[in-house]
Amino acid sequence: MATVKLYNQTGDEKAVKIQQGLAKHKGFVPEVFQAMGRNGDFLEAMLNLAKKAGAGLDPKTKELIAIAVSAVNGCGYCVDAHRAAAKGIGITDEEITAAIEVAAMMSAFNKFNDALDLTHDLKAE
């Protein structure tokens, strides 16, 4: 259950218009966009950020990154949302699991290396 008020087409005028478009496209307004729905400028900025982030990546790569980062950050909402998007563009469960494995491996190495304050001796030229 949300810990903030959700605005399902009840926020400011701009937010309502954006949410109406989301509802038309998805059949409902996802809670993440209801939580942002108080302020249409903020909602618009976040949707634009989501659209612009990863420009130049193919949709498959972008979704796999989103799933992997969400998994290691512990955001089940985002894992579910991006897994649904990934499945919708043909990404397999095996590819999703592989991406999460890579993210988990990197998270483990990151924590280990950070805890030991190792010298950065492996660098690109």
pLDDT band for 1, please (50, 70, 90 cuts).
confident
Place of tokens 């109406």: 20
d(CA 22, CA 51): 14
Determine the average pLDDT of the residues in 52-79.
98
Give the chain's mean pLDDT: 97
d(CA 38, CA 4): 11
Domain boundaries defined on the chain: 1-53, 57-125
d(CA 15, CA 22): 10
Catalytic residues, by residue number, are 75, 78
List pLDDT tens digits, range 13-41.
999 999 999 999 999 999 999 999 999 99
Determine the average pLDDT of the residues in 62-87.
98
